[in-house]
Each structure stands twice: as C-alpha cells, then as structure tokens.
Structure 1
Amino acid sequence: MAAGFLPFLSGLFGWVYFICWSLSFYPQSILNFSRRSTSGTTVDFPLINCLGFSAYLASNFAFYYSPLIRAQYGARHHGLTPTVAFNDVTFAAHGLLLCLVTTSQYFFPRAWGFSPSIGTRPSRFILGIFVGCVAGVALVVFVVLGSPERSNYEGASSSWLWLDAVYAVSYVKLIVTLTKYTPQLIVNYRNQSTVGWSISQILLDFSGGILSISQQGIDSYLQGDWSGITGNPAKFYLGNVSMIYDLMFITQHYVLYRGAEGKAEETDSLLGSSTDEEARAA
C-alpha cells in the first residue's frame, strides 16, 4: 500500500507546488495593474527572472525530452533517470511567460496606462549577473564543443559531455535565485515599507518550495538513491534558497515594517540616491 501511496503523493505534491509557484507570478503584476504603478518595486527582480526561467525551461526540457541527455545522465548516475517531471517543464514555460509580462510593465508603462516610475532601469549588479551567466554558459558550451566524446551515450565521467552544458544552464537558474531577491530586499529596507511589493507571491512561493523539495525527496527514496537530488541540484537548491528569501520578506512585511506606509519619497531602484534624484529632476 505504501509503495502505491508514495508515487501518488509525489505526483500530488508536484502538481500542487506547480499550482502554488505558478499562481505566485500573478499577484505582483495584478498589484501593479491595480495601482497603475510599479513604484516601491524594482525592475531587477522580474528582469533577471526572465533569464532564470529561460535557463530553467531549457534545462528541464533537455532532461525530460532529450534521449542523449537522459542517457548520459543515466550513465553517470547508476542507470537512473532524471527526477525532472512534466510539471517542471510546464511550470518553467508558464513562469517565463508571466515574467515577461511583468517585466513589460516596467519597460513599457505607457502601454499599461501606468504612472511614470523611477525603478525602470536595471542596476549594474543585476546587469552584471545577467552578462556573467550568459558568458559562463557560453564558455562551457565552447569547452564541450572541443570534447570528442561530447555526444557519447556511455557518458564517460572524465569527459565533457552535452550533459555538462545542460548542468551549466541549470546553474544559471540557481545563480539567479541566489541574487534576484537582493535588490527588492534593499528597496524595502530603504523605504522602511513593503508597499508595492506583493506578499501573496511570497507566501505562494514559500508553499511551493516546501512541496517541491518534498516531491524530490520522495522520488529519490522510491529510487533508493539520493542522486535524484545530487543529480538535479538546481531543483533542490532552488526550493531551499527561495524559502530563505521568502522568510526574509515575510519578516519585513509582518514584523519589521508591519503597517508602514513607506516614505514620502520612495526608492524604486538599487541605484544610489543621487541617481534617483537625477531621475526625478528629469
């Protein structure tokens, strides 16, 4: 009975976390639309999220659909298959679409009927992460192209394979997750408020993170090998890192700045105050 229940529970957790994480993309764009403004938030978060989910979609697609990548994964991990499920691919595609929609609210405010806002310029910090991630993946792809065994289905562990390029792409999502929340945390701190930043997306994200890790743990237990986690580190660490940041936002919203309406002059960017003043003067 337990053997039949755990696969069902894994599938249930997978779709529920898919729903939670998918719904988490809507509150911010809806809040922006209802306020007719993106003030109090920064474009850094949705912009770098576009890169992260592009990478997440590409790596999940490869792990789920590519016979070559699945064969090379199995050769390195005792004949097992990747723990990426169809709902992972669906979630990544949906997430990318919603990130593009939210980002458009910052870059094209007039099209949305929004009031002009300051936080429409990405910070150097986020631009650096963006360029660094793209350059890193390009470097790994270049190295793989120079490996004569790159398309080997046997997957020699000492050689550079296309699997390694897919891992490099998946790590982009992890790097993005490690950094994407930082600008908004700083903006909330400067404003001494979370006004404009939707807490609903954070609560949904936190719930999805717990269920995502739980599903991966169940799948690894059923396979009798924890390489289901070590073989797909992006998915595992993605859930853990997201939850840590979620707890920080929850603390800001419900404890540190509870009921705060923010400063009269809100800061919408990770850029210095002088930049904000120049933008206002312009």
Structure 2
Amino acid sequence: MAASFLEIISKVFGWIYTLCWSLSFYPQPILNFRRRSTSGTTIDFPAINTLGFTAYLASNAAFLYSPQIRREYALRYHGLTPTVQPNDVAFAAHAMILSALTLSQYVPAIWGFDKEGKRGPGARISKEILGITVGSFILVGIVALTVAVRHDEDPKTGFAWIDVIYTVSYVKLFVTLVKYLPQIITNRRNRSTQGWAIDQILLDFAGGLLSIAQLGIDSYLQHDWSGITGNPVKLALGNVAMFFDVVFMVQHYCLYQGKREGSSAESEEDPLLSETSSEERI
C-alpha cells in the first residue's frame, strides 16, 4: 500500500515539476515580445540552453527507448532500469523548442524588435559559449569513435554505447553549470534585473525541488540508490539550477529591488530602452 502511494506521488511530482520547468520557458520570450526588445538579457543564455536541451533530449530518449542502452544500463546497475521517465523526455523536447524560439528573438528582423538590442551588450554569442559548443561536439565524437574502434565485448567493464550517451548527458550538465553566469554578470553590470523575467526563476526553483524529490522516491522504491548514481545528471541539474535560482532571487528581491520589473509589465522609464522610440514601448 505504501509503495503504491509513493509510486503515485512520484508520478504526480514528475508531471508537476515538468509543468513548472516547462512553464518557466514562457515568461522570458513573452516579456521580450511585450517590450519589443531583448535588452537587459544576453544571447548566451538561450544559445547554450538550446545546445544543452538538445543533448538532454537525446540522452533521455536513449535511456527510455533504446533497447541496447537499457540493456547496457541493466548490466552495470544490478539489472535495474534507468530512472528516466516519459515526462523527462517530454520536458526536454519542449525546452529545446522554447529555447530555440527565445534565441530567434535576438534576430530583430524576425520579430520586429528594436535594433538597439542587436548592438547592445550580450547581443552576440561570446567566444566562451562558442568554444563550449564546439568542444561539446568534439568530445562526444571522440567517445563515439573510441567505442566504435575498441569493440569491447563486456559493456559492464569496457567502453560501450552507453558511455556515449553519458557523455551527451554530461554536456547538458556542464551547460547548466555555466549557462546562468553571463546573465548574472549582465544583471550585476546593469545593477538591474530589468529585461530578465523573474517568474521563470521561481518556476525553475519549484521544478528543481520536485525533480530531486521524484528521483529520491524512485530510488527508494527500487531499494537501491544507484537510481541516483546511475542518473547523476538529473540529480545535479536540480541542485545546480536551484543554486543559481537563489542567486537570481537575491539579485531581484534584495540587491536591485529598486530597479526591477516583473514579467507582466514594463516600466515606462526603462533605462535599457531609453533609445527606443515611444511607439515601440509598451
């Protein structure tokens, strides 16, 4: 009875955190559209987010749907199955699409935004983010080539295709470690969170808590904590995201509370849009 109840709670937590995380991708593009501008934000965030969630989608789909990857996982983890759930795949696909949509807003010709944002700070992808993107492809390629060349017979002790999938998932993990930094620096430079939607951070924080809770419940039900060690990316994603969410909340509600905005309205005296025509303001 208790196990059945926990299974229900796990599924409920899973879909709620999926909803929270999925909804967190809407406030920023909506705010950009309302302001007709991307000023106050950096293109690095949606750019590397698109890369990260593409990798996350690929790894989750492989763990959930690939018979070979699931077989190799079972060999390494006492016959257990991956703790990846259908909601993880659904979330990753949705996040990838919304990240790409937000990225497209940095091309003024597509959305009709003011061109000041195109020339402003953070309007071009930084060399660091480009380097991470290229390096990620090279790393995955090296691991895949190693697996293909070695042909190790025992996936439990040798190189196997599951290692390629783990490498892809680590790309997402690394992206999460660095993706928030450009925006944190931008907020600090502007001494303001104007242009940055805080609603996405609140939803992200709630999703992180429920994601960790679901992972713990699933591992408890399997009576083996390898459900966590076997899915380190999901564990790390929740914790790392929540840490940076707290940083953004401190910036918004404590450090720069006199120069902040919500995602639902734009101040008429927005200094980040000072050179935009009055017709373009909302």
TM over 0.5: yes
Greater displacement, 129-138 / 77-86: 129-138
Q: Counterpart of 1:128 in 2: which secondary structure?
A: helix
Instruction: Say if 2:194 and 2:270, in contact at 8 Å, map to a contact too.
Output: no
Instruction: Say if 2:63 and 2:84, in contact at 8 Å, map to a contact too.
Output: yes
Runs of 5+ unmatched residues, structure 2: 262-268, 274-282
Instruction: Say if 1:50 and 1:96, in contact at 8 Å, map to a contact too.
Output: yes
TM-score (norm 2): 0.90
CA spacing shift, 1:46–1:253, aligned 2, 3 Å: same
Instruction: Say if 2:143 and 2:164, in contact at 8 Å, map to a contact too.
Output: yes
Instruction: Say if 2:63 and 2:69, in contact at 8 Å, map to a contact too.
Output: yes
Instruction: Say if 1:194 and 1:253, in contact at 8 Å, map to a contact too.
Output: yes
Instruction: Say if 1:229 and 1:236, in contact at 8 Å, map to a contact too.
Output: yes
1:187: which partner in 2? 186
Q: Within 1, Cα distance between the matches of 2:3 and 2:66?
A: 29
Shift of residue 178 of structure 1?
0.1
Q: Counterpart of 2:98 in 1: which secondary structure?
A: helix
2:129: which partner in 1? 126
Q: Within 1, Cα distance between the matches of 2:225 and 2:205?
A: 23
1:101: which partner in 2? 101
TM-score (norm 1): 0.90
2:10: which partner in 1? 10
Q: Does 1:31 align with 2:34?
A: no
Shift of residue 61 of structure 1?
0.4
Q: Within 1, Cα distance between the matches of 2:159 and 2:181?
A: 33
Consecutive aligned runs of 4 or more in structure 1 exceeding 3 Å deviation: 261-267
CA spacing shift, 1:265–1:30, aligned 2, 3 Å: closer
Shift of residue 155 of structure 1?
2.4
Shift of residue 261 of structure 1?
5.7
2:219: which partner in 1? 220
Q: Counterpart of 1:259 in 2: which secondary structure?
A: helix
CA spacing shift, 1:71–1:261, aligned 2, 3 Å: closer
CA spacing shift, 1:78–1:191, aligned 2, 3 Å: same
Runs of 5+ unmatched residues, structure 1: 268-282
Q: Counterpart of 2:42 in 1: which secondary structure?
A: coil
Instruction: Say if 1:147 and 1:161, in contact at 8 Å, map to a contact too.
Output: no
State how 1:258-277 maps to structure 2 within 5 Å. Answer: 258-260=257-259
Shift of residue 67 of structure 1?
0.4
Matched AA of 2:48: I
Q: Within 1, Cα distance between the matches of 2:131 and 2:110?
A: 28
Shift of residue 264 of structure 1?
8.3
Q: Within 2, Cα distance between the matches of 1:208 and 1:98?
A: 17
Percent identity over the alignment? 60
State how 1:10-159 maps to structure 2 within 5 Å. Answer: 10-106=10-106, 108-116=107-115, 117=117, 118=120, 119-149=122-152, 155-157=155-157, 159=158
Shift of residue 101 of structure 1?
0.4
Q: Within 1, Cα distance between the matches of 2:103 and 2:162?
A: 31
Q: Within 1, Cα distance between the matches of 2:33 and 2:100?
A: 15
2:172: which partner in 1? 173
Q: Counterpart of 2:257 in 1: which secondary structure?
A: coil
How many corresponding residue pairs? 262
